[in-house]
């Protein structure tokens, strides 16, 4: 049985008025990079509780549990989380959830990780836990889209990971609201449709050597998946029938 346990807040990092990270200490069981847990809190003074799923940013070997969260205006849970302080207590589950993991993906030459906003979380967890992904793929391509450059709150970690992988990890940042040097401007589906991303990084999608992980804004995921199926002839990855596309529905 998957039971609820207490988790103590050790740090809340408010990156902006809309984005924040929460660090927790809790006696959860070991998890697989890419998985998620659920934060549970009481709603007002009643017995009613509310819970939401959040992917781990930290790898399993780092016991500082971390979640990257967007503050939703009038959101029942996020507005409460944003106001919490160090040493406050909330609840999470003993066992983690989800199959958005490297273990569920067939071995291939190139793995693409595509994310928007706070959906960078599971990829950071996966990439920090180097031993699994490093053996399975020759090239790792991370495509990360945000609105503004200032929203790249984990950029230092991304740069550190790029050095760690010694030329094996390709990172392409995309901005949708402003233009900056060394970034692409626009939205992922259009940039993929026109092969702009592939030409920029010099790695091309091929159904015979590529797997795509998609996580983030539901519209981006839906539109990108459609392009991958219709233009690149990729298919969804299933346990009973291995394919090229693995999707995490982030909200």
State whether residue 100 is helix, strand or coil.
coil
CA distances in angstroms from 88 to 32, 80, 94, listed in the order given: 26, 11, 18
What pTM did the predictor assign? 0.95
pLDDT in tens, the chain (251 residues): 899 999 999 999 999 999 999 999 999 999 999 999 999 998 777 678 999 999 999 999 999 999 999 999 988 899 999 999 999 999 999 999 999 999 999 999 999 999 999 999 999 999 999 777 888 999 999 999 999 999 999 999 999 999 999 999 999 999 999 999 999 999 999 999 999 999 999 999 999 999 999 999 999 999 999 999 999 999 999 989 999 999 998 66
**Residues 6 or more apart whose Cβ sits within 8 Å of residue 125:** 33, 34, 55, 56, 57, 58, 59, 60
Both tokens of residue 167? 């030329």
Instruction: At 137, give phi and psi (nearest 5°).
Output: -130, 150
How far is Cα 119 from Cα 217, in angstroms, rounded to an integer? 8
pLDDT score for 251: 65
Both tokens of residue 250? 């982030």
Residue 145 in contact with residue 139, Cβ under 8 Å?
no
- List domains and CATH numbers for the chain: 4-93 (2.40.30.10), 102-249 (3.40.50.80)
3-state SS of 24-93 is: EECCCCCCCCCCEEEEEEECCCCCCEEEEEEEECCCCCCCCEEEEEECCCCCCCHHHHHHCCCCCEEEEE
């Amino acid at each position: 049985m998957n039971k609820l346990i207490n988790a103590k807040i050790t740090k809340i990092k408010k990156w902006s008025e809309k984005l924040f990270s929460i660090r927790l200490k809790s006696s959860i069981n070991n998890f697989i990079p890419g998985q998620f847990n659920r934060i549970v809190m009481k709603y007002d003074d009643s017995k009613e509780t509310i819970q939401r799923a959040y992917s781990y940013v930290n790898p399993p070997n780092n016991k500082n549990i971390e979640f990257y969260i967007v503050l939703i205006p009038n959101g029942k849970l996020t507005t409460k989380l944003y106001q919490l302080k160090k040493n406050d207590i909330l609840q999470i589950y003993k066992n983690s959830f989800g199959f958005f993991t490297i273990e569920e993906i067939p071995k291939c030459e190139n793995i693409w990780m595509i994310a928007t906003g706070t959906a960078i979380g599971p990829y950071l967890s996966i990439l920090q836990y180097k031993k699994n992904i490093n053996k399975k793929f020759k090239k790792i391509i991370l495509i990360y889209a945000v609105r503004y450059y200032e929203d790249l709150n984990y950029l230092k970690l991304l740069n550190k990971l790029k050095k760690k992988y010694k030329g094996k990890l390709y990172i392409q940042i995309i901005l949708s609201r402003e233009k900056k040097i060394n970034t692409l401007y626009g939205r992922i589906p259009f940039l993929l449709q026109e092969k702009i991303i592939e030409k920029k990084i010099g790695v091309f999608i091929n159904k015979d050597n590529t797997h795509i992980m998609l996580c983030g804004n539901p519209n981006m995921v839906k539109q990108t998946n459609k392009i991958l199926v219709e233009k690149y002839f990729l298919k969804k990855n299933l346990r009973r029938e291995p394919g090229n596309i693995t999707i995490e529905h982030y909200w």
